Amino acid sequence: MNLKKLGLTTALACALTAMPPSAHADLVGFLKKSFGPPPIQLDASPTPEKSMSVDSFRQLKACKKVVVTAFNVQFITKKDAGSHAGGAGEGAAHVNSHIKLTGLTNATFQAITDQVYTNFTKGLQTLGVEVMPYAEYAALPEYADMKSHFKTSPLAVSGGHFSGQPSELFSPTGMPVVLFGDEQALGAGNSMTAYIGMNAPFTREAVMARETGVAAVHVYLVVDFCQMEAKGGTFSFSAKVTTKPQISISKVSRCSFFFDDSAYGGGREFVKMKNNAFGTDDYVSEFTDVTTGAQKAGDVAVNVIGVLGGTGDTYSNTYYEAAANPALYQAACVKYLTTVQDLMLAGIKEKTLN
């Protein structure tokens, strides 16, 4: 490490040590945002190396056949975000924004899931492997042992990375929802038993992969409908939440391959997103502020100036509804989900060529 970097590291360490916990959290959030991987812009021809984190996939070189055993697409339809300005014990600004996606039915979500699944199974062939039909896999005797762990699509879920708001998870028509315990946008209650027991898919599928030589492929994708950015903090004089309807694929999305049941040595390998992936296609037909009369209505970008050092706090609660055009929403979701899947597969392919 050179002297310049050493000096910067030392200064940051000293600053973090001297700060109170609330200020420390503000600074850590700033640093992570400033120096972490940039968001993935899906309309700007992103490359796999800049957008995906890929394991070695060395076992794929000897693998001739795969089967998609789990394909879960989770659609976020409600979100909350809040911010504050000023410290505790004195006048401060508090902003809370709430938004709900409307105008869509389960038929639209199911159609998106089915189309994206079809696109993915076709894309798997670019890895040079044969894709076993799911019906053939489901006919195996061992498959019946796992059925008690399966869930029905659509599955209502809560918790995870999205303010605890409810959402729904869909699997392709004719497939159950199969969880493996690492779906981060699900609450713990939904996946608590996903890997418990000898017949849990997490255990059983790995054994089947070793015995048959057919790798089990799992896909988990999270579709967000709105970006919410909160600004403020202990040393800020204003609190702000920007609410913008925009399709994105959450960075908790991932694809994994079970090659065998070894805990190490590449038994299970992942390709994951480095950051959230954003699209630019518009899908909203109407954006409405539905804040009740007893609360202060605001613009899409809400900004409240706090009376710092005074008495009492300033509050703003705003509620929005984004009405989707179903055809535009479906087209945008299929487009961007397929782009993310193609990046995942391209990243895996690059590994196997090395």
**Cβ atoms of residues 305 and 326 within 8 Å:** no
pLDDT score at 292: 56
Cα 209 from Cα 194, distance rounded (Å): 18
Cα 53 from Cα 224, distance rounded (Å): 20
pLDDT score at 345: 97
pLDDT score at 193: 67
| Three-class DSSP category at 54 | strand
**Cβ atoms of residues 297 and 289 within 8 Å:** yes
Check residue 233 and report its DSSP letter. B
Cα 39 from Cα 32, distance rounded (Å): 12
Could you read off the pLDDT tens digit of each residue along the chain, which spans 354 residues?
443 333 433 333 444 344 444 444 454 444 445 557 899 999 999 999 999 999 999 889 889 999 999 999 999 999 888 887 776 655 677 788 889 999 999 999 999 999 999 999 999 999 999 999 999 999 998 888 888 889 999 998 876 666 567 789 999 999 999 988 888 888 766 666 677 778 888 888 888 898 889 999 999 999 999 988 888 777 777 778 888 889 999 999 999 999 987 765 568 999 999 999 999 999 999 988 887 543 433 334 444 444 333 345 677 788 889 999 999 999 999 999 999 999 999 999 999 877
E strands, the chain, are 40-41, 52-54, 65-76, 78-85, 93-102, 130-131, 155-157, 167-170, 214-231, 238-249, 254-258, 268-273, 277-278, 284-289, 301-305, 314-324
Residue listed under structure tokens 């929005």: 320
pLDDT score at 1: 41
Provide the token pair at 148. Answer: 């008690």
Cα 343 from Cα 305, distance rounded (Å): 43
- How buried is residue 163: exposed, middle or buried, by Cβ count under 10 Å (0-12/13-18/19+)? middle
Cα 220 from Cα 270, distance rounded (Å): 11
